Amino acid sequence: MSWWLGGVFYALVVLAVFFLSGSLPPSYLLATLALAGGALIFRSAIDSQFKKTGLSATLEALEKMGRDEDIGGIYLEGEWAPLGEAVRRTAGFTVERLRDLQEEKSKLETILAHMVDGVVLFSARKRVLLLNPAAEGILGVGREMIGARGLELYRHLPLDEALDRVLASGVGTTLEVRLYHPGEKDLQVFLSPVRGGDEGKPSGVLLVLRDVSQERAVEKMRREFVADVTHELQTPLTSILGYVETLQEGVEDAATRERFLGVVQVEAKRLSRLLDDLLDLSRIQAGVLSYRQDLLDLGATVRDVAGRFRPRAEQDGRCLELHLPDEPLPVRGDADRLGQVLWNLLVNADKYTPAGGGIRVRVGKDGPWATVAVEDDGVGIPAEELPRIFDRFYRVDKGRSRQSGGTGLGLPIARGIVEAHGGRVEARSKVGKGSEFIVRLPLHKEEQSG
Ligand code: ADP
């Protein structure tokens, strides 16, 4: 029952009590009854008008709109019809706009979530308003940084000062920074002002972070490579030029002249070897060297190379032992390139082993690997140098390596070739006792399962 019906009922009860107690004349009761009847008729007339026009539905729809609920259809008749139409159109337009905005928002969120570059949006007071997953990864932070100060986020004073400058000037800028948390990183940072603040000032700054650590590392490697090569080429060239100038000035003694010419020849050969090795290494590292994929018996390949090397070792007074398995060891690969690996290891074993010492080559099997171990009784390698001997131009004893014609590229070339065959090479050594280089190559599949 609505409030007004309750009111009328209550008034009637009170009047009836007064009437029954005799304090009111019957005309009062009649007048009251007429009044209540009139009110009832008036109310039902309004209700029917509302129902007829659908105005109540319109009001309900407007309330729903306010609550962001689906409003369904609104149909008004007669003089209310234009109002109904206007509300319907406004509602339709608003719903459409909301849908568009929602769509735009989810598009932007998808783009931000999948960007490789980090994106951070700062307010005019340098508080983090937004950061995408890439930015979280680059800076090693999480969602909790929303609302934090810029400096807490990147911990880099020059970057913070750049942010201040962009906020003050409204002009974007780019800078490169090195961050140390979490881990060392080189970042290219693009700062752009966000328009719309007071008095033409930016309302914030958008930061785009690009991780350029890899590019910078490659550039550094390239610079170091050029410096290393220049240095390596300079030594024999200086020597050649020196002797040639002396010869040009005239050397009376024929024997001395022959000796000088001999040095020029040795240095020129060294240069040629260096260039060959450099070319090989750069092709191996660039992955442009093509390898045959023949099915080989590793034992036979090793026997072949060791056979060619034996006279050289014996001539230098070293004994070369070869231990081969009874069974063939099938591996897929390039016999010439694998032969080059073994040759380089044998040359080293020979170079760094005093006359009278021994070199042992063992071919075998270790789980899924076919192995070749080259062991010598040579000078050995200090433990702290072992991790670096596969680096380009790294030599434990520069003088000794150069004197014996080394280029400092034999081991990096060997490692490159072995790795291109899906294998690994490692070294063990004891100073004064000798060294052992072990090459592992994947056994051909049938052999592995057998
Ligand atoms: P290099 O032309 O100087 O021999 P490598 O790349 O072949 O260059 O070897 C790098 C360095 O590793 C050598 O200069 C040497 O110091 C050390 N080394 C390699 N093999 C042996 C070995 N069998 N015994 C001792 N030292 C070795």
Whether residues 422 and 298 fall in one domain: yes
Q: How far is the CA of 401 from the centre of ligand 1 (A)?
A: 7
Can you give the pLDDT at residue 92?
78
Query: For residue range 12-33, what is the model confidence (pLDDT) as tens digits?
Result: 777 777 767 776 677 776 777 7
CA–CA gap between residue 141 and residue 149 (Å, rounded): 13
The domain tally of the chain equals: 4
Q: State pTM to two decimals.
A: 0.64
Whether residues 303 and 440 fall in one domain: yes
Whether residues 326 and 430 fall in one domain: yes
Whether residues 96 and 153 fall in one domain: no
User: CATH number for the domain including 255?
Assistant: 1.10.287.130
Whether residues 232 and 327 fall in one domain: no
Over range 105-116, report the average pLDDT. Answer: 91
Among 286, 302, 325, where does a domain finish?
A: 286
Query: For residue range 273-319, what is the model confidence (pLDDT) as tens digits?
Result: 999 999 999 999 888 888 999 999 999 999 999 999 999 999 989 99
Find the domain containing 120 and state its range: 115-211
Among 195, 211, 227, where does a domain finish?
A: 211
Which contacts qualify for 336-339: CB closer than 8 Å, 24 or more apart?
336/292, 337/289, 337/291, 337/292, 337/417, 337/420, 337/421, 338/296, 338/298, 338/301, 338/417, 338/421, 338/441, 339/301, 339/304, 339/305
Whether residues 324 and 442 fall in one domain: yes
Whether residues 43 and 187 fall in one domain: no
Contact by Cβ (8 Å): 113, 132: yes
Query: For residue range 368-395, what is the model confidence (pLDDT) as tens digits?
Result: 999 999 999 999 999 999 999 999 999 9
Q: Which of 114, 231, 323, 421 is catalytic?
A: 231
Give the position, in ligand 1's atom list, of the atom nearest the Cα of 396: 16
Residue 156 is a catalytic residue: no
What residues are paired with 118 via a beta bridge? 209
Which one is predicted more confidently, 14 or 264? 264
Can you give the pLDDT at residue 225?
87
Whether residues 172 and 311 fall in one domain: no
Number of other CB atoms surrounding residue 437 within 10 Å: 24
Instruction: Indicate whether residue 138 lines ligand 1 (CB < 6 A).
Output: no
Ligand 1 probe mutation, 389, 392, 409, 431, most atoms within 8 A of CB: 389
Q: Backbone phi, then psi, for 182, in 5-degree steps?
A: -90, 110
DSSP letter string, 385-402: TGGGTTSTT--SSHHHHH
Among 74, 95, 111, where does a domain finish?
A: 111
User: CATH number for the domain including 176?
Assistant: 3.30.450.20
Residue 406 pLDDT > 70, yes or no?
yes
Residue nearest ligand 1's atom 21 by CA: 348
